[in-house]
Structure 1
């Protein structure tokens, strides 16, 4: 009986030793890949037909380069994406979530005021009772859509472009644009629409040189 117990103990020790050996190999290979990959290949796949630069810059099948900035999905997502994009374009510091939410609520209120002011200028949307619609949309957790995108282009006096990522190809596709009258003086704020109603900020398309510069800046920190 004692011999069996010693044998079991030896087997357990062997299993533990093998586990740590596999763990050691895993971390060694992972570190080796991270060391080699930046010098041998700029991009890795994300499984959706997209290529991703090490710094988060993506390239779709058509060669379009872009970066997605995620915003909190709390009902303010469209307004968060718009104010974040407006701040980046004006050279302001990156917003924290609290300040971003405050500016998003302020933009929502201004958009609703603009909608009321322009209520007689358009009839492409059946909003029902406008007063009821506006009161509902003023709530910070209510999702916004096309009417708010158009009004936001007026409030911000800037074009806004909406993109999707095609599920079949993984390519970016521009589905609609607002505020074209401002395009002569300004580049659009780009937002990415996800099919479950969420919006993220789609940052400016970046060139191959931009991606290399991002990596160079990252290396300088060390």
Structure 2
């Protein structure tokens, strides 16, 4: 995912660029320090995501946001990153189409979380011919389709815990490994994992060993 970093402070822009560069699958497409350069580079570079400061020397970043978010399918996602914490600016960013709003200072982990969510949303939308309500809920930040309608005996908080463990793991997990990470019983962990497979939120593959039944290995679909 190609990212345009916009910040009037050269050192802050460098720090944020470093954060982006360390996120797997992301690259810094360009850096802008003014509103004019932000609009120009967004048009020239066609980034997937813009990290947009509000306090720019020539114009407000909110005005830039409105120019970037025209409603066209190829508009970039915009993550507002600013020291502005007043409700008026937050509301303006929301109405302008910002994906999210991060108040400075923040650490690399906070930025990575939101950048990776944009990547997941882009990937999910690109793989759809039609969007089901579960897909729409996921894109707009509502309840995950994996946890919205749980079978009897399963609870949303535990489903969220299992989902986070599975999503954040690099590779697939067995029910026993998931149980160890979530401190659930193996039987309980498997029930949640199988629910995610049923809803399409996770996939499962069989790993065959030397003897006995094959092991079921689970991976989050996003």
TM range (shorter): under 0.3
TM-score (norm 2): 0.26
TM-score (norm 1): 0.26
Q: Which has the larger radius of gyration?
A: 1
